[in-house]
Structure 1
Amino acid sequence: MHETPADAGGPVTHLEPHSANNYHPLPVVIAEAEGTWVTDTEGRRYLDCLAGYSALNFGHRHPDLIAAAHAQLDRVTLTSRAFRHDRFADFTAAVARLTGMDVVLPMNTGAEAVETAIKLARRWGYRVKGVAAGQATIVVMDSNFHGRTTTIVGFSDDPVAHEDFGPFAPGFVRIPFGDAAALEAAIDDTTVAVLLEPIQGEAGIIVPPEGYLREVRRITHERGVLMIADEIQSGLGRTGTTFACDLEDVVPDVFVLGKALGGGVVPVSAVAARRELMDVFTPGSHGSTFGGNPLAAAVATEVVRLLETGVYQARGRELGDRLATRLRALPSSQVAEVRCIGLWAGVELVAPVARAVSEALMTRGVLAKDTHATTIRLAPPLTITAEEIDLLADALAAAIDEVLPVPAVTTG
């Protein structure tokens, strides 16, 4: 699955004694959810400011998405791609329309979609570009996070993600994120694609320098290399635009989508590209038992309809401005940096106490999550209200004060 990684370490939770220790969750057990709020088994309510790592962009149990799922559950849920079903054409047409691409290949999880894009790029490189057999390379970025398969973690520079999982697949060249000159230097005759997150989510909401995505598009176009945009976390309204690439009016060769495409109801992912690229796949060369199933197609089609209203992108912009203003007012003695784009923020603390701040925030009725020890990551549903933004900001300020008190000012 293309999920945000578990924290390093952490004891096995005794609430779930038969669970593998691959996550270190906050000590809350959620039983119900509605909109931006969740309720635990003791009846306590919490404002959800993580939104399933952007899988819940439309909030919990959005009525239109739940209605679409219920209606499809009464008809047919799975046929496999061995047969056609009556929801598939509408689904693929909707995603193609949203991305501006010709062809859509559906999968289930984000990692599967990334793997699909890697296979597409390699086969295109051999069959169209003419790269020598077995020599294709793909340029990736430092601090990337694209999923959890052995191929993907093999080009991660996060030791928690890749340590002791090798040997890894070759064929990847890693360079600094945000450095266009490094990208230009890294491309050679074996390069078939550049794979990047337009904004790096797991790294702590890292926003590249202005103009960087335009430079990536220029360089890849001029050098005959595919630009693959992993918009699994950054896409579908999160940044105040449909895609993060839209912030610089960039259209990649390949979009990789997931998380919010399933509306928080079912896992849905997809790769969208021009027909001449996607046609490198032929029957039997790639597939998925559950990819594009009727239930997933019904929900994802409704997700696209919600996005086509423009309401959620507008909320991301307007409420994102409010969130950024509140976060940037936090004292510099506690917060080293605030990175905020739309309703997506990384609050960089001056000390590695992000877990403690997340726990203090939870006691105040707000759920968020730490990443890389120093960063509080915020990604509330796009349905959040202005009043809830203020509640979040007030609770975060109090939580940081509890863990990192501002030094008292002495006079005299």
Structure 2
Amino acid sequence: MTTTQDVDHSEQVLLGVFGRPRTMLERGEGCTVYDTDGNAYLDLLGGIAVNALGHAHPALVEAVTEAAGRLIHTSNFFVTPAQVELADRLLALAHAPAGSKVFFTNSGTEAIEAAVKLSRRTGRTRIVAMENAFHGRTLGALSLTHKAAYREPFEPLVPEVVWVPFNDVDALRAAVDDNVAAVFIEPIQGEAGVVLAGTAFLQAARDVTREHGALLVLDEIQTGVGRTGQWFAHQRHGVQPDVMTLAKGLAGGVPIGAVVTFGPGPSGLLAPGQHGTTFGGNALACAAALAVLRTIETDGLLVNAEKVGEHLQGAVAALGDPRIVETRGEGLLVAIQLTDEIAPALSAALERDGFIVNPVRPDALRLAPPLILTTEQVDDFVAALGRVLADTPQPSTQPVQEQPAEERS
């Protein structure tokens, strides 16, 4: 069958919650993926910040193969060496104090669910979240997600969630009092268009939560594990949370998530029997995550993320196209802000040219490529972006004629 036929068939057997797939991918190597027709694409989305080492990386393949031949899964009645080693490694990378702990999940949204339950154990129920936040699709995580179109079809959700404007210190201080259980913040709001939290805002969040005895929960699901050129994005700001959630890039594509609790206070909130998971922290996923962390360190991928990300932002800016307002981001989590709502058209044209990007908003493209991306691959993409922009008509400056109501579709 052709790729088009493959996609058509997928719509007959898979729930259509993601809309029509863009294509059917069957294999990958490095930063390149191939569809079932053999067309090659430079993957600048990385499974939405998941494929930290790209595709079919030898270190990850070896780790998964070895683990599968030794031990894949036990149950939560037991622990495995890989699980303990991974917890030790994460605590060390996070500079977590004595008494800190890790709980492993299968995904980011499950990590958020665990953090919500943990916050309830403070004896309080109110949660402060950020406008334009995205924390996941399960009912608890969805309750913290700001976009009404995601939440409203499934209400009533978890009550007593209050949203404040992102980066508004005064609004945050006004919202947090002695009744608040936790404040949830993404250091960079990825789904909102790669919007960065300021240092002053994160430091204020740390101060106000400490003052009122609330938990500071930092959602590093998209930004963690080297994505921004730091192991965790909050480390650039000199702020340590009470709780951190991880997933996406942690095992390079093998499903895993994690909750890190900092210090004995947060680590002691959930008692035996109050939370659990069947597959979370299984030996195969932990082995994959250890391979990812080792490779990021030994191959200097934190430095590469920072260097290549700076090159990417500079090269896009150098195009000088008036429709590009700015580039923003840290490391290899970057948005290209546009003057007009042409991101979907640009994304489709770039895909036809062999480049996968994400129109995260109608007026913004998001890039979250593998951390192994090279400056040469960036230059290929930027050249293609320039061509696509040149072929994209400028939006009309003529005023839109209002149609009679009966003629509107």
- CA drift of 1:221 comes to 2.3
How has the CA–CA distance of structure 1 residues 26 and 330 changed in structure 2, closer, same or farther, with 3 Å as cutoff?
farther
Distance 1:270 1:402 in 2: 44
5 Å-filtered alignment, 1:13-162, equals 14-16=8-10, 17-24=12-19, 27-101=22-96, 102-123=100-121, 125-126=122-123, 131=124, 136-162=125-151
Q: Deviations over 1:337-375 (max 9, x none)?
A: 322321111112222221111110011110111122221
Equivalent position amino acid for 2:34 in 1: T
Determine the structure 2 residue equivalent to 1:296: 285
Distance 1:362 1:178 in 2: 34
- Secondary structure of residue in 1 paired with 2:114: helix
2:234 aligned with 1:221: no
- Secondary structure of residue in 1 paired with 2:318: coil
How has the CA–CA distance of structure 1 residues 404 and 204 changed in structure 2, closer, same or farther, with 3 Å as cutoff?
farther
- Secondary structure of residue in 1 paired with 2:195: coil
Equivalent position amino acid for 1:78 in 2: H
Q: Deviations over 1:45-68 (max 9, x none)?
A: 110000011111221122111111
Q: Deviations over 1:6-37 (max 9, x none)?
A: xxxxxxx6241222221135532211101100
- Secondary structure of residue in 2 paired with 1:399: helix
- CA drift of 1:122 comes to 1.6
5 Å-filtered alignment, 1:231-250, equals 231-250=220-239
- Secondary structure of residue in 2 paired with 1:96: helix
TM-score normalised to the size of structure 1? 0.89
Distance 1:144 1:98 in 2: 26
- CA drift of 1:42 comes to 1.3
Conserved 8 A contact 1:144-1:200: yes
Q: Deviations over 1:118-140 (max 9, x none)?
A: 111220x22xxxx4xxxx21110
Distance 1:150 1:80 in 2: 25
How has the CA–CA distance of structure 1 residues 98 and 185 changed in structure 2, closer, same or farther, with 3 Å as cutoff?
same
How has the CA–CA distance of structure 1 residues 162 and 54 changed in structure 2, closer, same or farther, with 3 Å as cutoff?
same
How has the CA–CA distance of structure 1 residues 369 and 24 changed in structure 2, closer, same or farther, with 3 Å as cutoff?
farther
Determine the structure 2 residue equivalent to 1:170: 159
Paired residue for 2:258, among 235, 251, 270? 270
- Secondary structure of residue in 1 paired with 2:141: helix
Equivalent position amino acid for 2:48 in 1: Y
2:323 aligned with 1:334: yes
Equivalent position amino acid for 1:14 in 2: D
Distance 1:252 1:309 in 2: 27
2:381 aligned with 1:383: no
How has the CA–CA distance of structure 1 residues 185 and 30 changed in structure 2, closer, same or farther, with 3 Å as cutoff?
same
Equivalent position amino acid for 1:267 in 2: P
- CA drift of 1:305 comes to 2.1
Conserved 8 A contact 1:73-1:295: yes
- CA drift of 1:149 comes to 0.8
Conserved 8 A contact 1:99-1:255: no
Distance 1:167 1:99 in 2: 36
- CA drift of 1:310 comes to 7.2
User: What percent of counterpart residues are identical?
Assistant: 36
How has the CA–CA distance of structure 1 residues 310 and 35 changed in structure 2, closer, same or farther, with 3 Å as cutoff?
closer
Determine the structure 2 residue equivalent to 1:4: none
Conserved 8 A contact 1:64-1:302: yes
How many residue pairs match? The answer is: 385
Most deviating of 220-229 and 351-360 = 220-229
Paired residue for 2:197, among 208, 227, 239? 208
TM-score normalised to the size of structure 2? 0.90
Most deviating of 184-193 and 392-401 = 392-401
Distance 1:370 1:24 in 2: 15
Equivalent position amino acid for 2:117 in 1: K
Paired residue for 2:242, among 241, 253, 260? 253
Determine the structure 1 residue equivalent to 2:275: 286
